[in-house]
Amino acid sequence: MNRYAPIIIVAIVGLAAVAAGVVLYRVYKPQVLAVSQEQAKKGEIESVHVRGAADAPVTLEEFGDFQCPPCGALSEPLNQLEGDYGTKMRFVFRQFPLANHANAKPAAYAAEAAGLQGRFWEMHDLLYREQANWSKTTDPAELLLSYARIVGLNTAKFQKDINSEEVKERVAADQKRAVELGVHLTPTIFVNGKSIVGPSLNPTGLRAAVEAALAEMPSK
């Protein structure tokens, strides 16, 4: 019996290692989010900031933070995707300002205030282009006001709207949707309801995801 003891011990240790590996994989594997058909339908109704054709076969939905550097880095590539795919793709932007970014919420409010004057996307693009400037200041109010002038807003209305309940509720609604979907990081991007995670969250990976979504469409 004693001569088999080392073999039994090795087998037990091996099984324990495999079990531990499975547990670690479950803990550390990338979180893959998905939007159910019911949630997607709800999103269709509630979407506020959308660029592209309503009947586009591919919908790319981003939860972004204007102060988030990776979001800023993806802004222009996303614009390029929109241009390249035209009527085949539409872009939905959702506000998800992170608590650790002091200026993210003021920027989100500025974009929503611009949206009340029909200039959301102009402010969206400008905030990302100028991210290195306004994100580092202790009080971004003056810079945000200057951006309102640049995109052609009525500045008196902008200053009134930026702290309004309507603007705050718009941001809160996007945050609520993020929580419902299990979003906790920015950027989080869904392509036709499937989250793009890990190494695929880059311009090449996003283009591949759009191509894959198009390939899944039934041929007419």
User: CA torsion angle for 208, 210, 212, 213 (degrees, to 10)?
Assistant: 170
Note the pLDDT of residue 149: 98
Q: Look up residue 34 and give its DSSP letter.
A: B
Instruction: Using DSSP bridges, classify how beta strands 50-51 and 188-191 pair: parallel, antiparallel or unpaired.
Output: unpaired
pTM: 0.78
Query: Would you kindly state where each structural domain of the chain is located, as residue ranges?
Result: 1-30, 37-215
- For residue 135, what pLDDT is reported? 96
User: Cα 137 from chain centroid?
Assistant: 24
- Per residue in 153-198, pLDDT tens? 999 999 999 999 999 999 999 999 999 999 999 999 999 999 998 8
**Which CATH number applies to 37-215?**
3.40.30.10
Q: Which residues of the chain are under the pLDDT cut of 70? A: 1-48, 219-220
For the record, the structure tokens of 149 come out as 């002038």
- pLDDT number for residue 46: 45
Helix axes 141-150, 104-115, angle to 10 degrees: 30
